[in-house]
Amino acid sequence: MMGGYFHAYLRNASIILGGYQHKEPFAQYLKNYFRQEKKFGSRDRKFVSDLCYGYLRLGQAVDKLSLEDSIIIGFFLTHESDNGFLDAIYPELANSFSTTMQHKINVVKGVFPEFDPHSIFAFSSELSKSIDNTEWNLKHLTKPAFFLRIRPGKREKVLQGLNNAGIAFEELNKDAIRLEKNIDLQHQVQIDRDCVVQDIGSQHTAMLLDHLPTSIHSFWDACAGSGGKSIMVHDKCKNAKIYASDIREEILDELRRRFSLAGMKAESIFCNDLSHPMAEQVIRSNLPTGGVDLIIADVPCTGSGTWRRTPEWLTGFEVASIETYSHLQKAILVKLISHLKQGGFLLYITCSVFEKENEQVVDYVLKQFPVKIVGQMHLFGEEHGGDHLFAALFTSAV
């Protein structure tokens, strides 16, 4: 009986994936599909979605295989045990689950010789040299985790809330908590007041700020998004004056809401397109004369360090966009550096694994401007189920 359901799930996943054209995020495409197709119950949607994402995590490794075979492989490689699906659909794999990914890869290659695990992430020639290509390919087969950052003085309250709700979690350090699933925490903890939803890689960017030789009295989050890094820096530099900007007015509304919950008051929150010719005038009208002590530049990028969350990019990405983003990042930094106080700091951040967006941008800044590099690092958040980020800290001190 259940075998019939599994075959139907496989057919529906094939239909959904066959119709996807990368014109929108896959999550949105899937949501729209299920909205139109009323026949799917909640359990059906969950299972079919899981099959789709398992396939997407294979990137270009299955280009020479049929769609249905690829979906089967995706399920096998992204699960630790069978729930009856493989037993009904492809018994040859049902008894081959192992604790090691490499064993499972070998099993798949034995059954499907055309499978090429080195092509899961097909852009290895663009990788930063600090990243192992083989390991990075296989990381995309694991599902991402969900993280909280505990705010100062709130540790006991947050842990008690999670324990009282029976939510399983892992403490990665005194501030970072990992949860296996994106759980609704609305009634368990006070988000933004007591803790912040923030990826572990993003949390680790603050390590470059741990040993600054001077105090931070003001900072500007120049690509602020919804304000997660602003809250993090505020928690480290409690009395610093805050300035925040972003190109998207609607996300600044979310930033204002979060700042209010976090008990933060900004000197200025303003919308600004840093690539626009008028950007400089907008900056000068919102920042103090003489600049700020710290600029946070979490710049637009390919997002390649986060593709475990959006695996459709493994097949929908155009390599030419790396160069486009690299030029944009350099143009943004040109606008920012002149607003550093003498002896101030600029924290450059990407969620990219590509050298042209990371090390090559650092080299460009050092050649073009009178700044020094304090430190730079790849933040291997994927080792904990998070994202991969790159961060570099510059100073204008001479």
Residue 119: CB atoms within 10 A of its CB come to: 18
For 223-264, what is each residue's pLDDT tens digit?
999 999 999 999 999 999 999 999 999 999 999 999 999 999
* List of residues 6+ apart from 382 with CB closer than 8 A: 139, 201, 305, 308, 388
Residues 351/201, Cβ–Cβ less than 8 Å: yes
> Dihedral of the CA atoms 361, 362, 368, 371 (nearest 10)?
150
The predicted structure's pLDDT at residue 209: 93
For 301-315, what is each residue's pLDDT tens digit?
999 999 999 999 999
Q: Which of 52-61, 181-190, 280-289, 293-302 has the lowest mean pLDDT?
A: 181-190
Query: What values do phi and psi take at 280, rounded to 5?
Result: -60, -40
> Dihedral of the CA atoms 11, 12, 16, 19 (nearest 10)?
50
Determine what percent of the chain is predicted with pLDDT higher than 90. Answer: 88
Tokens coding 131: 């990243």
- Domains of the chain listed by start with CATH number: 2-120 (no CATH), 204-395 (3.40.50.150)
The predicted structure's pLDDT at residue 1: 46
Q: Which of 212, 194, 180 is nearest to 149 (CA)?
A: 194
Mean pLDDT score of the chain: 94
For 170-194, what is each residue's pLDDT tens digit?
999 999 999 987 778 878 899 999 9
* Confidence class for position 398, pLDDT limits 50, 70, 90: low
Crossing angle, helix 42-56 and helix 67-78, to 10 degrees? 100
* Confidence class for position 2, pLDDT limits 50, 70, 90: low
Tell me what the mean pLDDT of segment 142-167 comes to.
94
* Confidence class for position 272, pLDDT limits 50, 70, 90: very high
Residue 208: CB atoms within 10 A of its CB come to: 20
Order of strands across the sheet that contains 146-150: 170-171, 176-179, 146-150, 195-197
For 91-113, what is each residue's pLDDT tens digit?
989 888 877 899 999 999 999 99
The predicted structure's pLDDT at residue 287: 97
The predicted structure's pLDDT at residue 184: 80
Burial (CB < 10 A; 0-12, 13-18, 19+), residue 121, is buried
HEC secondary structure over the chain = CHHHHHHHHHHHHHHHHHHCCCCCCHHHHHHHHHHHCCCCCHHHHHHHHHHHHHHHCCCCCCCCCCHHHHHHHHHHHHCCCCCCHHHHHCHHHHCCCCCCHHHHHHHHHHHCCCCCHHHCCCCHHHECCCCCHHHHHHHCCCCCCEEEEECCCCHHHHHHHHHHCCCCCEECCCCEEEECCCCCCCCCCCECCCEEECCHHHHHHHHHHCCCCCCCCEEEECCCCCCHHHHHHHHHCCCCEEEEEECCHHHHHHHHHHHHHHCCCCCEEEECCCCCCCHHHHHHHHCCCCCEEEEEEECCCCCHHHCCCCCCHHHHCCCHHHHHHHHHHHHHHHHHHCCEEEEEEEEEEECCCEHHHCHHHHHHHHHHCCCEEEEEEEEEHHHHCCCEEEEEEEECCC
